[in-house]
Amino acid sequence: MPSVEAGSLVVVTGVNGHLASTTALRLLQKGYIVRGTVRSLRTAAYVKKEFAQFGTSFEIVEVPDIVAVDAFSNAIKGASAIVHIASPVTFDAKKPEEQFVPAVDGTLNLLETARKERGIKKVLFVGSIGSVIMTAKDPAKEIITSKDWNIYTEQLVNNSDDPMVGFHIYVGSKLAAEKAAWKFVEDNKVDFSLTVLLPAVALGPIHKAVTGPPRPDVSLGWIYDYIAEVPRKDGAPTAEISLFVHTYDVADLFVASLTSPEADGERIIALGEKSSYAAVADILRKAYPDRKVPPADPNAAAMAFPGAEVIRFDTSLGAKLLGGKWRSLEDMVLGAAKDLVEKESRGWDKE
C-alpha cells in the first residue's frame, strides 16, 4: 500500500481518551494533520487546549454515536489514514452487548465508510493483547505470535457469576471487533491496508482530562491505586504476570505503520515488559517517599489468566518498527504518576 507521509490528514477516533490523545500528539509532533473524533464537543475542551500549539494542524469533530449509519462520513473526508481507538475500556460490563455492540458495530461502520472514501490508504486499529492469550498453544512450551488467537474468552463472556466476567467481556469485545475487521477486509474490495496493534496495559504521560480519581478498572486507576494520598490498595501483588507497554510506544507504532510496508496486513503485539504490581509499587515508593505506597503482598489478588506465569510473546516486529527498543516499566509508571499527582494536587481537571 502507498505510504502515508507527514503532512497527510489522519483521523484519530476517541481522541479525548488516554491512548488516543497520546497518539494524536505523536502524529502532530511528526508533522501530520490530525482530526480527532469525540462523542461530544463538550468533553473536548481539555484536549483542544492541550494541542493548541499545533494550530490548524489539529481539529476535533463530533461523532455522537459510532454505530449510527454514516456516523463517520464527515469525519474522514479528505483523510489518508484512520487510527481507530474509540471503544469501551472498562471492566464493569455485566452483559456482552454493553461492549460488543459499540466495539464491533462501530468498527464495521467505520470500515464501511472508509471503503467508500477512496482516499483512505491505511486503517490502523487498536485491539488487545488479550486476543493472543488463552490460545491453542501450551504457553509453557511455545512462544505466542501474532498468528495465534484467543480461543476461550468467547465461551466465558456469558457467565455472569464469574467475578472476572467484566474482564472477559472487555477482551471478548476487542477480539470480536478485530475478527470482524479482518473479515470485512477479506470480504470486501477495499483500497486500504489494515494493521492491528495488540497492546498490553498502556501506561505513560497523560494528555487528556482527568476530572477526578481514575476509575479502579482502567490503567491510570491501577497506578492511582498505589500513589493516591490515601492508597486504594493495601498491598501490591508480587506475581510477575502483568503485561505493560508505554503509551508512547503504542503511539509510535501507529506512526511507524503509516510509512512502513512491513506493517500492512499485520497484527503487532505491543508489550514492553512483563512484571508485577509490586514492581510498580517499588518504583512509586522510591520516587514518592512521602506517599504511603502499600507494600508488596504475595497474597494480594492479581488479574490472572491461564498460563500467565510462563507466557512469552514474539514482539520482534513491534521492536523493529520502534528502532529496536521498548521503553522501560519505570518510564511508563513515572510518566503516569507524575501527571496524576499533579492533577490531584490542583483538584483535577475541568473538561
Return the pLDDT at 96: 80
Return the pLDDT at 292: 96
Question: pLDDT for 40-87, tens place per residue?
Answer: 999 999 999 999 999 999 999 999 999 999 999 999 999 999 999 988
Distance (Å, whole) CA 50 – CA 7: 20
CB-based contact 288:227 (threshold 8 Å): yes
Question: C-alpha angle with apex 282: 281 to 284, nearest 5 degrees?
Answer: 65
What is the grid cell recorded at 350? 475541568
Give residue for cell 466476567.
Answer: 165
Q: For the residues of 60-115, what is the DSSP string, one character each?
A: EEE-S-TTSTTTTTTTTTT-SEEEE--S---S--SSTHHHHIIIIIHHHHHHHHHH
Distance (Å, whole) CA 289 – CA 30: 37
Give residue for cell 511508563.
Answer: 332
CB-based contact 172:133 (threshold 8 Å): no
pLDDT by 10s per residue, the chain, length 351: 689 999 999 999 999 999 999 999 999 999 999 999 999 999 999 999 999 999 999 999 999 999 999 999 999 999 999 999 988 777 777 788 888 888 999 999 999 999 999 899 999 999 999 999 999 999 999 999 999 999 999 888 888 777 888 888 899 999 999 999 999 999 998 999 999 999 999 999 999 999 999 998 889 999 999 999 999 999 999 999 999 999 999 999 999 999 999 999 999 999 999 999 999 999 999 999 999 999 999 999 888 899 999 999 999 999 999 999 999 999 999 999 999 999 999 999 987
Q: What element of type H or E holds 297?
A: strand 296-297
The SS3 of residue 270 is: strand
DSSP lists the bridge partners of residue 202 as 245
Per DSSP, 313 falls in state B
Return the pLDDT at 179: 97
Give residue for cell 501507529.
Answer: 254
Distance (Å, whole) CA 217 – CA 344: 18
DSSP β-ladder status, 242-246 and 273-275: antiparallel
Return the pLDDT at 98: 82
**Burial 39-69, CB ≥16 within 10 A → b, else e:** eeeebbebbbebbeebeebbebbebeebeee
